[in-house]
Structure 1
Amino acid sequence: MDENLSAYKVIKYTHVYYDAWNRFVENSKNGSFLFHRDFMEYHKERFEDYSLMVFKKETLMAILPANISGNCVFSHQGLTYGGIVLSKTTAFQSTLGTLYAILEFLFENDIENLYLKEIPDIYHLKPSGELPYLLHSLKAETYRNDVSMAIKLDAPFKFSTLRKRQLKKANKNDLVVKKETNFSTFWNTILIPNLKTKHQTKPTHALAEITLLHAKFPNNIKQYNVYDCDELLAGCTVFETESVVHLQYISTEKVKNVGALDFLVNFLITDVYKDKRYFDFGISNENEGKNINEGLLNWKQSFGASAVIHRFYNIEVQNYSALKNIMI
Structure 2
Amino acid sequence: MEYHEDRFEDYSLMVYRSEELVAVLPANIKHGIVYSHQGLTYGGLILSQKVKFNDVLESFQAMLQFLNANRIQFLKIKRVPRIYEILPSDEIDYLLFKVNAERDRCDLSMVVDLRSDLTKMSTNRKRSLKKAREQQIEVKETTEFESYFNSILIPNLEERHQTSPTHSVAEIDILKSRFPNNIRQFNAYHNDDIIAGVTVFETENVAHAQYISTLDSMRQLGGLDIIFDHLISTVFKHKNYFSFGISNENQGQQINEGLLHWKASFGAQPIVHEFYTIETKKYELLNDVRL
Fold match by TM threshold 0.5: yes
Percent of aligned positions that are identical:
52
**SS of the residue aligned with 1:101?**
helix
Residues 147-193 of structure 1: CA deviation (Å, up to 9, x unaligned) = 11001101124101111111111111111111111111111111111
Q: Does 1:270 align with 2:233?
A: yes
Quick one: distance in 1 between partners of 2:33 and 2:4?
20
Q: Does 1:180 align with 2:123?
A: no
Q: Does 1:112 align with 2:80?
A: no
Could you tell me how far 1:45 is from its partner in structure 2? 2.0
Task: Look up the match of 2:10.
Answer: 49
Amino acid at match of 2:47: L
Amino acid at match of 1:262: D
Task: Look up the match of 2:132.
Answer: 170
Quick one: distance in 2 between partners of 1:141 and 1:190?
39
Matches within 5 A, 1:31-70: 40-70=1-31
Quick one: distance in 2 between partners of 1:55 and 1:162?
52
Quick one: distance in 2 between partners of 1:313 and 1:165?
42
Quick one: distance in 1 between partners of 2:217 and 2:138?
18
Alignment match of 2:108 (pick from 120, 143, 147): 147
Q: Does 1:289 align with 2:252?
A: yes
Q: CA RMSD for the aligned pairs? A: 1.0
Quick one: distance in 1 between partners of 2:9 and 2:157?
28
Could you tell me how far 1:56 is from its partner in structure 2? 1.7
Task: Look up the match of 1:307.
Answer: 270
Alignment match of 1:233 (pick from 180, 195, 201): 195
Unaligned runs of 5+ in 1: 1-39
Amino acid at match of 2:235: V
Unaligned runs of 5+ in 2: none
Give the alignment's TM-score, normalised by structure 2: 0.97
Quick one: distance in 2 between partners of 1:203 and 1:141?
30
Amino acid at match of 1:219: N
Could you tell me how far 1:70 is from its partner in structure 2? 3.1
Give the alignment's TM-score, normalised by structure 1: 0.86
Could you tell me how far 1:59 is from its partner in structure 2? 2.0
**SS of the residue aligned with 1:145?**
strand
Could you tell me how far 1:194 is from its partner in structure 2? 1.0
Matches within 5 A, 1:233-272: 233-256=195-218, 257-272=220-235
**SS of the residue aligned with 1:325?**
coil
Quick one: distance in 2 between partners of 1:310 and 1:320?
24
Mean Cα displacement is larger for which, 144-153 or 249-258? Answer: 249-258
Could you tell me how far 1:85 is from its partner in structure 2? 0.7
Task: Look up the match of 1:189.
Answer: 151
Task: Look up the match of 2:36.
Answer: 75
Could you tell me how far 1:68 is from its partner in structure 2? 1.5
**SS of the residue aligned with 1:77?**
coil
| Runs of 4+ off more than 4 Å | none
Quick one: distance in 2 between partners of 1:196 and 1:105?
41
Task: Look up the match of 1:23.
Answer: none
- Of the two structures, which has the highest relative contact order with CA contacts closer than 8 Å and spacing of 6 or more? 2
Quick one: distance in 2 between partners of 1:264 and 1:223?
11
Could you tell me how far 1:300 is from its partner in structure 2? 0.6
Task: Look up the match of 1:199.
Answer: 161
Could you tell me how far 1:86 is from its partner in structure 2? 0.6
| Aligned length, in residue pairs | 289
**SS of the residue aligned with 2:216?**
coil
Quick one: distance in 2 between partners of 1:244 and 1:198?
28
**SS of the residue aligned with 1:132?**
helix
